[in-house]
Structure 1
Amino acid sequence: MSNESVALELEVPDEDQEALQRFLGTTSFGKQTKGAEADDRFEQSKRQIVVTKQADSNSDSDDDNSDDDSDDEDEYPVSHEMVFKTHDRAVTSITLDASGGRLVTGSNDCTLKFHDFASLTPSTIRAFKSVDPSSVKGSASAETHPVNHVSFNPISPSTILAITAHPQPRILDRNGETLAEFVKGDMYLRDMHHTKGHISEVTCGVWHPLDRNICATGGTDSTVRIWDVNNPRQQKNVIVHKSRAAGSAGRTRITALAWAANPQHNLLVAAALDGSLVMWDGNGPYTRPAAEIRDAHTKDTWTSGLQVSSTGQLVMTRGGDDTIKLWDTRKFKQPLRTVEFPSMSSQYPTSNICWSPSGTEVLTGSANGDLHILNPATLRSELVTPVTPGSALISVYWHKELNQIITGSANGETHVLYNISISEGGAKTVMLKAPKRRHIDDDPNLTMDLSHGIGGDAVILPGGSAPTAASFASRHPTIGLTASGKSRDPRRPHIPNTTPFAKSNADAAYIKEHIPLSGMREEDPREALLKYADKAKNDPLFTNAWATTQPKTIYAELSDEEEDGPDKKKARR
């Protein structure tokens, strides 16, 4: 027999090999290749695109339209999507930092949700933190307000401007902690120039494009206030917009703000409820507007969308009068283009419109859940694709570095649209990661429920029987405590108020036995005093010293004639 080693190979039929693979599962150790798995995840996240283009009079055939549809998938980042379901109500505002690593969304559920793309995996698409920007730290008040606007500082990504339906906007850090809260003005002052802050709800806000310490806010008190974040106790400048509409008493509501700054232009533009569109020089002075259009949109309609192009020459507005208009700041009198577009501002006053990073497209959403990409020259839809059919698409955002479109809808969903060919980072990076392996701690039914001090999978039954099923708190991990510290568990019994005598309300027998004079609460006070009348007469406690020296009161006796009282005066005739 030779000394050479003999290699034995075991041939397994394909059917048996597949059965063996299913039995063993896909669990493996060590670093694995993710190419094929990532392709599968990209395929799963691919959207069933329904692209609708405006009919072009120059189109020759249906083949040309089909070619255009396929080109649109690569031209715009709309071929794939990732969905966040972290809010309970409509998503009203969206913002990302300059690098695109952190996403913050605001909602009508009065919360801000913080998402970090670096920590997300395909199986853990969720927010790492939820913040109520209107709550006061250390206060037990349950007062909350919907979020109207949230935006990262374009120069310093460590600060966020958060505006709720409250007179005091806030500056937060990138982790949601409050850095500054702007002061509230004196609501009893008539002249808004003399107040140090807003006196009513703040509706919109914007950062200065070049100065990290400057921001502007607009409110329902008919003012635009410019703030220095280092001095939140008083605004830096106040701009009072005097409405000339009949019956407005000189006041209106500021509905939208936009600020564009470059070496050639520095413009601050505001839209108001009286239909006016006002423009100021961003460097000041702000005593008079540089230009004003009184009837830019219909009076008493909410102009929710307002954006200035990066060059500072074009202004795009979306009004509550079902129109989208394009304006030229160099000839700020008549719109360059006007197109009919259904408005949602009556129901969702934060529905916006935004420019693409290149400035060659305009992005907005519709009431039926479609995303519209418009040509700014003609204001015609170059691409229409459904995102949340049947639910209004409120907020849109096109990030420059990621080349991804983020949308917020009325059903509480946040969609991140991207393309694997032209997008970078963000949702694409999340899909390239392997799904997180499930751990026993990921299942709330099998973890420790510290609020009750027992295992999350246990319920103590009456009579001391053994635990059998998961507790209510573990099966509903979102149910915790209210701001006042009370449990939201509907099965939790009512806890009586704490009294000075015991931890619970004492019964009547205990009070009567242990608390002196407790029976006086049910006794007639007149009868209680009359009980001591004879004792006070026979054994006076305070007047005994001069009882023998005081004169006895003698009352005059009435005669028989005077029993009826004194004679009445005779009436004069």
Structure 2
Amino acid sequence: MGDNDSDDYWVEQPELAPDDPMRSFLPTSFGQKSKEANIAAQIEQTRRQVPQPAAPKKTRPDVDRDSDDDSDDDSDDSEDDTERFPVSHEVVLKTHERVITSVALDPAGGRMVTGSLDSNVNLHDFSAMTPTTLRAFKTVDPWETKKSAKTSESHPIQHLEFSRMSGSVFLCITAHPQAKILSRDGDVLTEFVKGDMYLRDMNNTKGHVGEIANGTWHPSDPNLCVTAGADSTLRIWDINNKRSQKDVIVFKSKAAGSAGRTRMTAIAWGAPAQGGSSVLVAAALDGSLVMYSGNGPFNRPAAEIREAHRADTWTGGIDISSDGRMVVTRGGDGLIKLWDTRKFREPLIKVEHTSTSDRFPMTNIRYSPNSSSIITGSAAGDLHILNPGNLRPELVTPITPGAPIVVVEWHPKLNQIITCSANAETHILYSPTMSSRGALEVMSRAPKKRHVDDDPNFTTDQSTGISGDSIITPGAMAGTKRGGVTASGKSRDPRRPQVQQITPFMRSQPDEKHVAENIPLSRMLHEDPREALLKYAEVANKDPKFTAAWKATQPVTQYAELSDDDADEGPDKKKVKR
């Protein structure tokens, strides 16, 4: 076929049936292919598969048409309840190894921190996660700087909470008398002082002398926070002064046999969203519920309720509504109670709810952002969304069946519910229509392209943990050298000797440079005395100062002249006695 007929030829293609499996191996196009993420499919993959409750069995064979219509209406109502709350989809994070005891998000909703019984705080950034990289970008142990070779000091995380205004720092409370303030990157900024355990009067101690159970931030002042400890005190701190608390509230228990002391288990500090005086409410182990004016003075409580919950049961959940009028508590006696701060005497409503405080004392309860609902977890692993008026469940949905839900949180800007369970899972519930950013933003990104080099099993020697093509400098091992210093000034490199700590006693002692520059004749301490005297020998002979008075009358020293024979004998040659 000639060149002129080049437009008339055609390429013969294999004729395959539409269902032929060979079609999966044949290319459909040539050149570079761009694979874009199917956002709708990714979001649909996170839809929760909630099992519907079984329909009740029919007791009568003759069932009229109206009963069928009622059942359909009930199913429609359940679907409507599900659509009212952002629980249709979920993203699961597995970044801890033990029970997750606390979760907190910053006010903007871009960063989330979780604490666990493994003593670690994991930091998650929604802007850095993709559907295939659901992990924490940093893990922090708040007590890492105090660890030594002899003692490994770590404490379980009790409570985490971002500052309510800026979110630049968060409060970290562990099972220890000292609370910490950490930056949003996990660096320890402030460690509050520990009190003197030998002082009887808690008003005279500068810090807690017992384990801290809970804490929270001031509603409007970003520099103030409060902690509740086992020493029967509530202490208000200024984060700019770690040496002593700003105010101390000593709670005197009236329970028999308590000697005036009890453990403070939970605390909440709230104020009306439109402005007004704040209120401070705390729960004690003796079953008491005490309320103070948030602006002080704190000499005596504004109201106190004895036996608000059963004595010697842990009341770990307490929260204040957005208008500052209602208080909800979840006690260790298996009851949820609703209180009115204006008539702080008797509970308005109380309902039964199985308690998990015997295993997980930090189990909490929370109001929704606009206080239109109350959320909490159950021992069966279900999320309960309650009506704030009568505490009846509006929605009960399983999250982690068989694993109790320990803590819950509802973020106002994201409109997403976060639950943390005893099986070390964090579930972020959201809705594509009602939620924004957060987990929805993560699932709207394209999955990260994975390369064979991303798997360390193929590129790393598992015996040494070193890549095969890595270059190792003499005397160094990859992964062991850590540069920089910790917050206390200790080097992160284990091979570097520890720098001597400068104590107040050492600061009062003058150093060698100061002595040499400011003290006269101090350099003579390092001179040889014989050499120093010989420098003045010639001057002393020419111009004597102390012997000049008898220089002219001093007789000349005369020595006996020895003969040659006597000189030869010398003192060593003695005559032999006969």
The CA deviation string for residues 237-282 of structure 1, in whole angstroms up to 9 with x for no partner, is 0000000000001000010010112323310110000100011011
Structure 2 residue 186 is the aligned partner of structure 1 residue 168: no
Q: Which residue of 2 aligns with 1:541?
A: none
Structure 2 residue 95 is the aligned partner of structure 1 residue 86: yes
Q: CA deviation at 1:157?
A: 1.0
Q: Which residue of 2 aligns with 1:569?
A: none
Q: CA deviation at 1:42?
A: 1.9
Matches for 1:56-75 after TM superposition, within 5 Å: 61-75=70-84
> Counterpart amino acid of 1:338?
K
TM-score (norm 1): 0.75
Q: Which residue of 1 aligns with 2:376?
A: 364
Structure 2 residue 39 is the aligned partner of structure 1 residue 38: yes
Q: Which residue of 2 aligns with 1:231?
A: 241
> Counterpart amino acid of 1:430?
V
Matches for 1:329-340 after TM superposition, within 5 Å: 329-340=341-352
**Deviating more after overlay: 426-435 vs 251-260:** 426-435
Structure 2 residue 25 is the aligned partner of structure 1 residue 15: no
Structure 2 residue 204 is the aligned partner of structure 1 residue 201: no
Whether the 8 Å contact between 1:142 and 1:484 is mirrored in structure 2 is no
3-state SS of 2:144 partner: coil
Q: 1:52 to 1:293 in 2, by over 3 A?
A: farther
Q: CA deviation at 1:457?
A: 11
Structure 2 residue 384 is the aligned partner of structure 1 residue 384: no
- Aligned equivalents of 1:315 and 1:253: distance in 2? 20
Structure 2 residue 300 is the aligned partner of structure 1 residue 288: yes
Q: CA deviation at 1:45?
A: 1.3
Q: 1:457 to 1:210 in 2, by over 3 A?
A: same
> Counterpart amino acid of 2:179?
P
- Aligned equivalents of 2:292 and 2:443: distance in 1? 45
Aligned counterpart in structure 1 of residue 121 of structure 2, from 112, 120, 125 = 112
Aligned counterpart in structure 2 of residue 157 of structure 1, from 161, 164, 167 = 167
- Aligned equivalents of 1:237 and 1:103: distance in 2? 30
The CA deviation string for residues 7-35 of structure 1, in whole angstroms up to 9 with x for no partner, is 9698775737974455669999576443x
Whether the 8 Å contact between 2:36 and 2:446 is mirrored in structure 1 is no
**Deviating more after overlay: 95-104 vs 69-78:** 69-78
Q: 1:454 to 1:419 in 2, by over 3 A?
A: closer
Aligned counterpart in structure 2 of residue 210 of structure 1, from 216, 220, 225 = 220
- Aligned equivalents of 2:295 and 2:33: distance in 1? 59
- Aligned equivalents of 1:356 and 1:217: distance in 2? 23
Which stretches in structure 2 are left out of the alignment for 5+ residues? 57-66, 471-478, 480-491, 496-578
> Counterpart amino acid of 1:86?
T
> Counterpart amino acid of 1:254?
M
Structure 2 residue 250 is the aligned partner of structure 1 residue 240: yes
- Aligned equivalents of 1:59 and 1:162: distance in 2? 54
- Aligned equivalents of 1:333 and 1:157: distance in 2? 35
- Aligned equivalents of 1:260 and 1:457: distance in 2? 58
- Aligned equivalents of 1:248 and 1:456: distance in 2? 65
Q: Which residue of 1 aligns with 2:568?
A: none
> Counterpart amino acid of 1:233?
R
> Counterpart amino acid of 1:294?
R
Matches for 1:232-381 after TM superposition, within 5 Å: 232-262=242-272, 263-381=275-393
- Aligned equivalents of 2:368 and 2:228: distance in 1? 24
- Aligned equivalents of 2:365 and 2:167: distance in 1? 22
- Aligned equivalents of 2:211 and 2:25: distance in 1? 60
Q: 1:453 to 1:102 in 2, by over 3 A?
A: closer
3-state SS of 1:61 partner: helix
Q: CA deviation at 1:188?
A: 0.4
Q: CA RMSD in A?
A: 3.1
> Counterpart amino acid of 1:160?
F
- Aligned equivalents of 1:170 and 1:304: distance in 2? 20
Structure 2 residue 426 is the aligned partner of structure 1 residue 425: no
TM-score (norm 2): 0.74
Whether the 8 Å contact between 1:304 and 1:351 is mirrored in structure 2 is yes
Q: 1:245 to 1:29 in 2, by over 3 A?
A: farther
- Aligned equivalents of 1:10 and 1:426: distance in 2? 53
* Paired residue total: 458
3-state SS of 2:440 partner: helix
> Counterpart amino acid of 1:121?
T
3-state SS of 1:359 partner: coil
The CA deviation string for residues 376-403 of structure 1, in whole angstroms up to 9 with x for no partner, is 1111111111100001110000111111
3-state SS of 1:402 partner: coil
Q: 1:453 to 1:50 in 2, by over 3 A?
A: closer
Q: 1:417 to 1:456 in 2, by over 3 A?
A: farther
Whether the 8 Å contact between 2:146 and 2:153 is mirrored in structure 1 is no
Whether the 8 Å contact between 1:325 and 1:337 is mirrored in structure 2 is yes
**Highest Rg: 1 or 2?**
2
The CA deviation string for residues 148-172 of structure 1, in whole angstroms up to 9 with x for no partner, is 0001111021101000001110000
Q: 1:130 to 1:108 in 2, by over 3 A?
A: same
Which stretches in structure 1 are left out of the alignment for 5+ residues? 459-472, 474-482, 487-573
- Aligned equivalents of 1:125 and 1:9: distance in 2? 48
